[in-house]
Amino acid sequence: MADDAEHGRRPPLTTHSIRIDVDESDLPEDRFTDHVNNARYFAFVNRAFQSWYVAMGIRGGVPGFAAFMVRLEYDFLRQIRPPGVLECRVEVVRIGRSSMDHAIAIHDLGPDGQGTPVLAGRGRAVHVWVERASGAAVPWPPDVLERCAPSPAQP
């Protein structure tokens, strides 16, 4: 089987995931359904990105600059019913001059968090590195890129 590199596709650069407990508070207020409202999926994705920002050292750690989310798309594949545990994963799949594309996946791990992961949804997000004062997109800082795309091990 051919290697992805031979076809010009880059393998994922880095992955960050968090576990999220889902309970009755994640249900819609009107309780019209017994599953988590779609808007909550976006809250779960936001929590995963907030955690990723901290792990990458860019949450408040780079004065005058910020990562702005400029695009978010998501496909809902399965209902999530509380109680349960989710794994929300963010994966860097492409780095441009000032943009960074992420694959997003939410897996349902079942009521006790020990079940076989079932894909509940997936999507894509794009961040742009911005200089706050001018609002201009600028290249990602090398130290951030090193955490996203570490150099291959030296022989």
Q: What is the mean pLDDT of residues 27-56?
A: 86
Fill in the DSSP letter of residue 41.
Answer: H
Domain boundaries, the chain: 10-148
Q: What is the mean pLDDT of residues 80-90?
A: 95
Side-chain half-sphere exposure of 144, counting CA atoms within 13 A = 24
DSSP-derived 3-state class of residue 120: strand
Predicted confidence band of residue 10 (pLDDT cuts 50, 70, 90): very low
**CB of 80 within 8 A of CB of 45?**
no
**CB of 140 within 8 A of CB of 95?**
yes
CATH topology of domain 10-148: Thiol Ester Dehydrase; Chain A (3.10.129)
Q: Give tens-digit pLDDT for 105-131.
A: 999 999 999 999 999 999 999 999 999
Report the 10 Å Cβ neighbour count for 94: 15
